[in-house]
Chain A
Amino acid sequence: MSTSDFLQIALFIGVLLALTPFVGGYMARVYSGERTFLTPLMSPLERGIYRLCGVDPQAQQRWTGYAVAMLAFNACGFLLLFLILRLQGYLPFNPEGIPGMSADLAFNTAVSFTTNTNWQAYSGESGLSYLSQMMGLTTQNFVSAATGMAVLVALIRGLVRRDGTVGSFPVDLVRTLLYILLPLSLLAAIVLVAEGVPQNLSAYVPATTVEGAQQTIAQGPAASQIAIKQLGTNGGGFFGVNSAHPLENPTPISNFLEMVFILLIPMALVYTFGKMVKDRRQGLAIFAAMGVLYLAGLFTVYFAEQNVHPELAAAGIETSAGNMEGKETRFGVVNSVLWAQSTTAASNGSVNSMHDSFTPLGGMIPMFNMMLGEVVFGGVGAGLYGMLIFVVLTVFIAGLMVGRTPEYLGKKIEAKEVTLALIAIFTLPLGIVAFSAVGSVLPVAAASIQEVGPHGLSEILYAYSSATGNNGSAFAGFGADTPYHNTMLGIAMLVGRFFMILPVLAIAGSLAAKQPVAASAGTFPTHGPLFVTLLVAVVLIVGGLTFFPALALGPIAEHLAMIQGMQF
């Protein structure tokens, strides 16, 4: 590893670690209903919204009420977005006269943005009007992120409270938006504009290139959407090639900041967790487990991408920069792999390089990140509640070994919680393994696969991992915009999102009704290096056992073939 690469990685991680306690502590105050520096500004607005919507901010919901409110809100959001996308041809702010989307594509896109996935089967420049981008997608970018964070907070309250309530969904939603996402996005957007990202409602600009060719330069209200797509782990680019696009990500500074924005809230939320459960060591343990998985993945991709396909090297192609296929020369390997690892660890899905063109092993890690259920920091809220599901499993499997009924943070983990955690985990084999297996043989589905051999399997595997993990990134070769995949990927996204959220909320409700058990020397320790190791092992073994066969036939076969000099 070169010194400059090392320094870039160290700086990136250093900045994030420095910001985590501030943002995390701030969010803990927001969710505990405490006063923050934004209270004077936001609380009149907050109260106004509650009054307008007839919400009693003091009322506490049980998990069922919370879940119904969350589902109803998301269903309305989906419907509204679906209608906007279908009817955008008739609606204003459409200077390019882009027509309405087909039903299956609109379904896929609407599901994609409500589930915080931002899988894009369309290309932003040619498929969406400014109205669809701003009113449709950006709105969902905000509220889908807020939904994930609200669900997480409900789960944390379940661990802490003992009266059966988990909070109020409308209040959590509104406070997330007003106190966290809007201010942070505004700040981020301004910085991005300063770096040269466009923010306007103008028509596309025709230009003549140096070679004399004609080119249309797309623009629009990009900075605002990019800010939230990064911060809210949405990932849906304003432009088709996402953050590899020079207007979406113009400078090294914008690249650095956009990467920071990906992990900022997911990392900080772990700190928020530790603070809200009043035991920072618990947050630290989970943070450490996520950190270990993150760094292990990062270095695997990094070293994989240092290697170039042996045949390319044999053909005399310059290889000193590593595998540059599908990467922007301005970012190089280190910034491409940092982004790739971050965007798939957190379920962001924005890209600044083409994961499809990574080496087999380099492409497998981002895929594996998603297969683990996006729990390595993960989507805002979603990553941590996913990890807490793994914590429940870990505590149950290993907790018995200390001779007590397993418990986490004083709450006993019993049959009900185990059942619910398994339902949540089951979304992964269902959405990823079952759907991609069917897709790989069904002629109507397999037609979308671009490559032959193991890489083709990797493409479809990646697509369904991305959808189920609510990530949204893709292996570029995969032709996703077909009625079959639009529908099936849409279903995979719904399964991956709501079959996860509902068990999580049910666990929150079940735990909230339990009396906490006092901690003693006989209590299974859920902090410290031993627990971190155990948690990492459970995540890897559960993920590994579920996906090893598929990975063996995809990227692993491809990798072994590559080092043995075979090609498909």
Chain B
Amino acid sequence: MSKHRTEDTRLLDKQLLQQALVMSVKKLDPRVMFRNPIMFVVEVTAVFATVLFLAGLGREGSAVAGQICLWLWFTVLFANFAESLAEGRGKARADSLRQTKSSTQAKKLSRLGARGYELVPSETLRKGDLVLVEAGDTIPADGEVVDGIASVNEAAITGESAPVIRESGGDRSGVTGGTVVVSDAIRVRVTANPGDSFLDRMIGLVEGASRQKTPNEIALTILLVGLTIIFLVVVAALPLYAAYSGAVLPTVFLVALLITLIPTTIGGLLSAIGIAGMDRLVKANVVAKSGRAVEAAGDVDTLLLDKTGTITYGNRMAHAFVPVGGASEQELAEAALLSSLSDDTPEGKSIVTLARKRYKLSINEGAIAEFVPFSAQTRMSGVDLENGVEIRKGAVDSMLRYAGGREAAVSGGESLMVAPVELKPVVERISKSGGTPLVVARDGHLLGVVHLKDIVKPHIRERFEQLRAMGIRTVMVTGDNPQTAAAIAAEAGVDDFLAEATPERKLELIREEQAKGRLVAMCGDGSNDAPALAQADVGVCMNDGTAAAKEAGNLIDLDSDPTKLIEVVMIGKQLLISRGALTTFSIANDVAKYFAIIPALFMAAYPQLAALNVMNLTSPESAILAAVIFNALIIIALVPLALRGVKYRAASAGALLRNNLLVYGLGGLILPFVGIKLIDLVITGLGLV
């Protein structure tokens, strides 16, 4: 998991609010408003109503008309405010990222082997340029290490302060502009033009003006525009019906009806929801190359997850001590502990931990004469004690050879079969269960086996169960043999696994899944992952990955945390759900608004229509004003929901639908009846109408 998260910008930060207030007025510019067709209609209508109001100033009813105009303007401003606030929060986050982008001097090389360099401002670097970055320098642009090895501090983007190694050739060759080389020097080939780096893309996603609408957002906007046009026809027809029925309708009432009917709630909050969704992604330290990728994440059916790092901790850990040949468990644990005291590998450390924890062993370290480090020749490690005792541990075959060799040396003859009979079944059982057996010997005498095990991360099983409930299949990808893979897959609770995975087989698997109509997400980092990342519908590339992998993926995880994939899927889903819920809410609201406005409009012509005034609103004027005020206030009331996103818990589509329909559908039907009635009481009480 990421060690550091950008501090969540407080929802009601004073400075942000002030900026948003200013922006909401600035956004009244029709050229800006035009980007949001629904609110553009509201603005045009507000202008129209204001002109009417000014023309009829002083006449009867102009006080109500004036208030309606005012609330129409508030409706526009509230929507602008929501968008500005979302943008402001996004920008605040982007700005903190941008600080890392401040211009630096780059040491540009004319060719790889060049001795001298030329100092140029980092903005002038183009794709393909070569730069030298030495200790203390800031890496001037995104790029790939082509020569050298260096430790790099990437705290600026990941928040992780421990430096990481970046070197040419391997899978750790990608570097990000703005990070700092701590030691050594590397030569970097620039892979992004100015304005096209990952940071730039991320900033683009949270800044409203240049934001690209995502496919579902476009489709939803079309739906809202369509509904608006339908309501325009309906409202335009009303004066004609009224003329037939002998009623006179004040134009400002018609304007009020139009504005309350068209889906202003979702129309006003739509872009805020989109920006906030991207913002949540940035908060999770993930950069999306496009908004489309985030939506696609919500659609994913199959997750390909690397075993190591995602499902299990990266390293095997000691799980149990199994003695053989009459040795006691205590004896074995003690020997294993001694042999591992100097072993700095995670496996070694885990043996120490387990032995100390389970057997409460305290070792007299003074007894140790010499540590024998692991060597490629003997393929074992261990310790020699003061009293001449020799303890070794290693893989089964090398230990057998070692013990056999010692036996032979001692007896001066042939190597005898020294392995106790229980050893073979124990080793087999451990292997079968997906573990690694590590044999421990004392003076050539086999004491037993340390069961090293891939430890499945805690709670990962629940996570997969949630994913399964959401209809997402999880496939574990591992280089292990099928037997080992099956055991871990069963323990972790994944739906399927791909053992002995190679990049080709990974690619093949993705294609198979896609042929079945599934959308596949995966994460990867190495160059050989690039084809699979490109083939997958959602490819999350680790930030420390190669340039090729970064190019192929459509999301980049700055924390290089493979578990993030699950989080990305959740963010994608929440984005879509927020839009759907508020759309449903907005449309359901209209029913109550009709019951407020229609009787009010026509009561003069047909007094019997008073029966439709189910809310028993005070007067036609108060009814219409209350509806308009409710319509404006609901936008403000829902801003926190739009920014935070609708509460989302993992569940099947059926359960989600039932819950959200109950809250936003039924709630959307009922709430405005209550709200309009209350507002009616208040404005009547205040004598506003």
Using a CB–CB distance below 8 Å, which chain A residues touch chain B?
Answer: 393, 396-405, 410, 413-415, 418-419, 422, 425-426, 429-430, 433-434, 436-438, 440-441, 446, 453-454, 456-457, 515-518, 520-525, 528, 530, 534, 537, 541, 544-546, 548-550, 552-553, 556-557, 560-561, 564, 566
Contact = CB atoms under 8 A, between A and B. Distances in A.
Nearest to B240: A437
Nearest to B646: A401
A548 B471 contact: no
B599 to A, nearest CB: 8
Given A397-B584, A400-B583, A545-B261, A422 B223 contact: yes
Contacts of A436: 237
Interface stretch (B133-141, B496-504, B651-659): B651-659
A429 B215 contact: no
B415 to A, nearest CB: 58
Contacts of B240: 437-438, 440-441
A399 B518 contact: no
A520 B654 CA distance: 11
Given A518-B301, A520-B473, A548-B594, A418 B234 contact: no
A405 B237 contact: no
B471 A520 contact: yes
Contacts of B572: 403
Interface in B281-321: 295, 298-299, 301
A132 to B, nearest CB: 36
| Residue from A398, A402, A545 whose CB has the most chain B CB atoms within 10 Å | A402
Contacts, number: 213
B606 interface: yes
Given A398-B665, A436-B237, A549-B241, 19 more contacts: A397-B223, A397-B580, A397-B584, A401-B660, A402-B580, A403-B298, A403-B574, A415-B222, A433-B237, A437-B238, A440-B244, A457-B241, A520-B471, A528-B654, A545-B261, A549-B598, A550-B237, A552-B612, A553-B605
A479 B234 CA distance: 25
A507 to B, nearest CB: 13
B222 A434 contact: no
A566 B517 contact: no
A393 to B, nearest CB: 8
Question: Would you list the 6 A-B pairs with minimal beta carbon distance, nearest first?
Answer: A522-B471, A400-B580, A403-B573, A520-B471, A422-B226, A521-B471
Interface string B581-600: 10110011011001000110
A515 B517 contact: yes
| Residue from A393, A441, A518 whose CB has the most chain B CB atoms within 10 Å | A518
17 contacts: A396-B219, A401-B580, A404-B573, A415-B222, A437-B236, A441-B240, A457-B241, A517-B301, A517-B517, A522-B470, A522-B471, A525-B654, A530-B661, A541-B591, A549-B237, A553-B602, A553-B606
B468 interface: yes
Nearest to A554: B241
A404 B576 contact: yes
B657 to A, nearest CB: 5
Given A429-B230, A521-B470, A522-B652, A560 B219 contact: no
A108 to B, nearest CB: 23
A415 B583 CA distance: 16
Q: Is the interface of B mostly helix, strand, loop or mixed?
A: helix
A405 B223 contact: no
B584 A454 contact: no
Given A429-B230, A429-B233, A523 B653 contact: yes
Contacts of A528: 654
Nearest to A412: B299
B586 to A, nearest CB: 10
Contacts of B579: 400
Nearest to B573: A403
Contacts of A429: 230, 233-234
A426 B661 contact: no
A401 B664 contact: yes
Given A422-B223, A446-B244, A520-B472, A400 B216 contact: yes
Nearest to A531: B657
A539 to B, nearest CB: 13
B496 to A, nearest CB: 14
B656 to A, nearest CB: 5
Given A396-B223, A410-B517, A557 B218 contact: no
Nearest to B516: A518
B608 A566 contact: yes
| Residue from A400, A419, A520 whose CB has the most chain B CB atoms within 10 Å | A400
A564 B608 contact: yes
Nearest to A540: B591
Contact of B245 (A393, A434, A457): A457
Contacts of B574: 403
A518 B537 CA distance: 14
A561 B245 CA distance: 14
A402 B653 contact: yes
Given A400-B580, A457-B245, A530-B658, A541 B587 contact: yes
Contacts of B236: 434, 437
Nearest to B467: A522
Nearest to A433: B237
